[in-house]
A and B are shown apart, each in its own frame.
Chain A
């Protein structure tokens, strides 16, 4: 039985006093068999726009992020990161120790530097400036060895060896090469092209790091900028010489992670070791430059694709050779064909290693790379066969949800009034307008792990607590809102407490798994608390527990019609109040989401300027737990994709072996003037009553749609992002 068919309400017969006569009536009561989200129309807070509860403290600067923590006697630490991609280093530890204000110098004893930015030493001093002085006093002398910082260098003959596994890693192969060859030969239209994407940075506003509150003794607290409150204490135990249970991790506020902030990390480890040596609290958050060099990134890719299309628009063949550029790491790339169905497929995928830091998970790892290559190729095939870009997409997507979503974005973006549906526009017009499409998929499911405690006091206060972190997604808000709705209260009726490893367990926030893991547990805790509440009060009120409802700040006895203000009802609880713990309920969570996006751009053929006029997204995700923060996630994903399309790129200087743009001036991120109209449409035709994570899917196809729109506008096919004017002008044949 699917959740759809399940009875949400239950009918019971009760005796009611009408005009002085007892009558038997049948009334509807809330579900008592276990928690369920209930029908869409029945919600008061869930599926509504609920502003973030921590919005005011965040925008007014009062929310203490780890970066802001200042403790008595605290030292400030700086890490010395390798300024060469490979080789060794000699340090003058003595003069660093003698630098005024420097308390501890830590040599990480790195024998062999293997990547640019690898930490080699650290200094803790009484001020950040003195710590920086200490680093300089180390007078690091780097002896460079041969290196490869670009994939071209790594693949060149006689390239220095980057990893012991070689510069080209293990290849995985799928599909049937011969069948693809035959299908290509039989195709009505074919296209072959190379596509590449640069390394993108997470660019979180708060850099990686922690503040370790340790002054000797057998207890410590760690303020962490992390996606995993429960992933820190364990890692910190060894360097602090404590048991994990003696360490509390606090993550009340954190300034963004996008996949790069799990675990203590090398910077956290260093902070713990410094605190242990100094027996003083240590503040260590990476500088922006070190963040760029040593805190992970989205791997780049280079893909050679060849595809075939039949006259009726069916995709018949796809060959793909995928290089993943993940530095010393493996990189990630979703399988081809991404989302679309193609009859015959043959793919190869392998990493190419460079002496740069390893890529990490980043919002939908591997998906944006795969999306860009397939969406570009599909448009190239459509143009080759003179077919409609939208119709071909619909035809090759197995899940019917996509056709419906694409239809919606197409109408919203103005596709049917658009002149260039089967061939790109020409560049000789003064104003070139183009449209592009893209689709996405993600899991977003959850699992067992969260423990949520709802407490109700006799004074009417309600708290909902769980140790989870809020990445800025609105987690804290629904930890309260789901409970408030259960008790018919407003948002001011419930306080959420999160961000401490002393509270109930929670999963790490990665893979968009938070909401599907946590929301069901919150709902369950709320439901249990309500049941307990009703059980306790029913006898005192002379009624049946099934007949007690909570609505609009009151407790209503459906038998007598009597209404008691919530606070008064709470006063009837036992002295210790009431507490309930909720864990995950599989029925309340789902998995598997779809989205479609479209972009409309204007290209100035004279200057190569690309202006994104409008982007539209239709995204499903089961039950919207909070429509406002859900739309925020969609906006955020689309803006990040736009920024990736137009500007973002890690640039390595191949001869000097350095990243030439490790700052927010040269690593360009979209700002408000890049962002055109953005329309985020929640796909309400998805009626699943299940919580499903959505964040990652929203970043997947935007850049692909923008690049396709540029080609659609004026024929400028840019196959290597970002779409900077040099490349647009080159694609227009002007350079």
Chain B
């Protein structure tokens, strides 16, 4: 990796002072949390900053706190291991703790943070290979489009066909969470649904609405309905630790016989965590039976446009959604 200056601010204000927006925007300054992604990028020369601002010395950014009214606030520096092991969240927000537990390996989860997970860069192998200068790295072509695209997007793709790698993002989307972003200018709150940006809508070099100079400070989950139950199903090619070929985050309010309402988010299939609104509509007030599940699965994947090697993700994702719904029913 290229040599860099390491800064260890003690407060978020100090950190923000170090994050000159132009330098962040031109990739000269980078933010470091657990380093599970950034350090890999440094080692592969995908990121070559001159300055690195380490957030880990900042206190008060790793808590999991109950908000008045039933919401939950989680600090950006909270590790995935802490999240996964939280006894209350395991009961009340299973989709989130299960998603955290499905990430990588124990070693990685004990270092990796929530903020880093949401802001990690794509894992598409064209992006990760130094030799291929793809669209995401300022090149002119998304090589996956006509190339090896088994792991790429079937929904929302173009001009880049990455899938967003975060497992926490679909879970938080299903929970309707928001992120709090701070900068020298102040603080703003953005819904997860708006935080992740499609390559067709924004800057193809980024995956989120995070502005240069901003830090993701915390994640806020709004109060959930009393009867809300949730689950996370992630399909990994290699169970021992792997990225999602496809994943389903499901939050549903049921009375045992009927699904009153549901929120469905998909992972591993689109450049952003993908909200399956058509499936949600199909599930609203539907009886809890296989036929409704199949209808929801059909609806979720309607409009999918597979590339040459990833059409399998359509039946796979349908199957996963059916299995997820079955698990809530049974």
A positions within 8 Å CB-CB of B:
83, 129, 132, 136, 604, 606-609, 646-647, 651, 653-656, 658, 660-661, 665-666, 668-674, 724-726, 729-730, 734-735
Contact = CB atoms under 8 A, between A and B. Distances in A.
B53 to A, nearest CB: 21
Contact of B148 (A83, A129, A660): A660
A671 B125 contact: no
A606 B238 contact: no
A670 B237 CA distance: 10
Interface of B: 1, 45, 123, 125-126, 128-129, 131-132, 143, 146-148, 150, 235, 237-242, 245, 309-312, 314-316, 318-320, 322-323
Contact of A607 (B143, B242, B320): B320
A658 B235 contact: no
Contacts of A646: 238
A729 B147 contact: no
Given A604-B319, A668-B242, A730 B312 contact: yes
A653 B148 contact: yes
A668 B150 CA distance: 14
B148 A668 contact: no
A690 to B, nearest CB: 39
Contacts of A655: 143, 146-147
Given A606-B322, A608-B312, A730-B312, A656 B131 contact: yes
B288 to A, nearest CB: 17
B148 A607 contact: no
Most B-side CB within 10 Å, residue of A647, A654, A735: A735
Contacts of B239: 671, 673-674
Enumerate the 3 nearest inter-chain pairs by beta-carbon distance, A residue then B residue, closest first.
Answer: A671-B240, A606-B319, A726-B312
Contact of B323 (A607, A647, A654, A666): A607
B112 to A, nearest CB: 14
Contacts, number: 85
A80 to B, nearest CB: 13
Contacts of B148: 651, 653, 660
Nearest to A658: B131
Contacts of B150: 726
Contact of A608 (B125, B240, B316): B316
Contacts of B311: 735
A366 B142 CA distance: 38
B316 A725 contact: yes
Nearest to A136: B45
B235 A670 contact: no
A607 B235 CA distance: 9
Contacts of B241: 671
B315 A647 contact: no
B315 A735 contact: yes
A303 to B, nearest CB: 23
Contacts of B240: 670-674
Given A606-B323, A673-B240, A653 B132 contact: yes
A417 B68 CA distance: 59
B235 A726 contact: no
Nearest to B320: A607
Contacts of A656: 131-132, 143, 147
Nearest to A656: B132
A647 B237 contact: yes
A706 to B, nearest CB: 15
A607 B324 CA distance: 12
Nearest to B311: A735
Contacts of A672: 240
Nearest to B309: A726
**Which of A607, A654, A666 has the most chain B CB atoms inside 10 A of its CB?**
A607
A673 B238 CA distance: 8
Nearest to A733: B315
Given A734-B312, A735-B314, 13 more contacts: A83-B131, A129-B1, A606-B315, A608-B312, A656-B131, A656-B147, A660-B126, A666-B128, A670-B240, A671-B238, A671-B241, A726-B150, A726-B312
B126 A725 contact: no
Given A651-B148, A655-B147, A670-B240, A729 B129 contact: no
Nearest to B246: A607
19 contacts: A129-B1, A136-B45, A606-B315, A607-B315, A646-B238, A653-B126, A653-B147, A654-B147, A655-B147, A656-B143, A658-B129, A660-B148, A725-B316, A726-B309, A726-B312, A729-B315, A734-B315, A735-B314, A735-B315
A353 to B, nearest CB: 22
B147 A670 contact: no
Nearest to A669: B238
B80 to A, nearest CB: 17
Contacts of A607: 235, 315-316, 319-320, 323
A673 B240 CA distance: 5
Nearest to B123: A665
Contacts of A669: 238
A234 to B, nearest CB: 37
A599 to B, nearest CB: 17
Contacts of B237: 647, 668, 724-725
Nearest to A652: B148
A647 B238 contact: yes
